[in-house]
Amino acid sequence: MFDFLTGPMFWLSISICIIGMIVRIVLYIRGLNWQMDRVAYRAHPGPGFKGAVNSIIRWLVPFGTYSWRKQPFMTIIFFGFHIGAVLVPLFLLAHNIILREKIGIFLFTLNPAAADILTWMVVMSALCLMLRRIALPEVRILTTAYDYFILVLSAAPFITGLLARYEMGDYTFWLTVHILCGEALLIAIPFTKLSHIVLFFASRAQLGMDFGIKRGGMKGKNMAW
């Protein structure tokens, strides 16, 4: 089972994730229409590029936007979850060993203590996000079972990773479940809201171009639109 999960299933899940996200990005870009959006993307590449970069950077920085500053607790939870969710899968020593064996790449590795802290940060942040959906009426009314499923699916590799890390029960069992959860997550990314892993950058770039070109960025340039 372990050989299958770290062999054919590993390549299948990685392939589905990468190819699926490329398709999502292409479809997103092809779906842009300057007549409908009233933004001449190609006509003004300079202001558009500047607006896109500025938008992405501001939203990647904690408290870098008004929206982040307006909800400080939510901002801390959000970044706590996403920072750990990015760093641990990429830079955990065990993951890097697998990457080196499979594709010959070995990245910077996290100190074990730092990896533990980041993993717990993901789990606790996920719990806070779930409690937020339950406790706040304005969020609860918009929440469906699908949202809880996505949250559990996102946190499952980290929870099972901790269970294997601390050998709480059968280590082999939890390691197998951990790998299964991780590969299930990879496969789900292109087909669910988790596609925001990449589409976040596409949408922020589009909105940044919108503001950089039309909404004040080129104000007073005698644009017809």
Residue 114 lies in a domain: yes
Tell me the two tokens of residue 134.
Answer: 């339950």
pLDDT for residue 191: 96
In a domain, 222, yes or no: no
Rounded Cα distance, 29 and 199, in Å: 10
CATH code assigned at 64: 1.20.950
pLDDT at residue number 207:
85
Greatest extent of the chain over all pairs of C-alpha atoms, in Å:
70
Q: How far apart are CA 102 and CA 3, in angstroms?
A: 12
- List helix spans (H) across 93-170: 93-103, 112-135, 137-140, 145-165
CA torsion through residues 63, 64, 69, 71, sign: negative
Look at residue 225 and tell me if it is in a domain.
no
By residue range, what is the domain housing residue 24? 2-213
pLDDT score of 186 = 96
Task: Say if 224 falls within a structural domain.
Answer: no
Residue 125 CA to residue 81 CA, distance in Å, equals 5
User: How far is the CA of 59 from the CAs of 64, 106, 159, 208, in angstroms?
Assistant: 6, 29, 27, 11
219 located within any domain: no
Answer yes or no: is 205 within a domain: yes
Distance CA 15, CA 186 (A): 9
Q: With pLDDT > 70 as the criterion, what percentage of the chain qualifies?
A: 91
- When divided into structural domains, the chain yields a total of 1
Kindly report, residue by residue over 46-102, the tens digit of the pLDDT. Answer: 777 888 899 999 999 998 888 889 989 999 999 999 999 999 999 998 888 888 888
Tens of pLDDT, residue by residue over 81-91, are: 999 999 999 99
The H helix count followed by the E strand count for the chain is 12, 0
Q: Is residue 220 part of a domain?
A: no
> Please, are residues 67 and 76 in contact by the beta-carbon 8 Å criterion?
no
What is the DSSP-derived secondary structure letter of residue 6? T
Instruction: State pLDDT tens for residues 16-48.
Output: 999 999 999 999 888 877 666 666 666 777 777
Rounded to a whole number, what is the distance in angstroms from the first to the last CA of the chain?
Answer: 60
Query: What local confidence, expressed as pLDDT, does residue 40 receive?
Result: 65
Q: What pLDDT is stored for residue 39 in this prediction?
A: 64
83, two tokens: 């920072």
Report the distance separating Cα 86 and Cα 168, nearest Å. Answer: 25
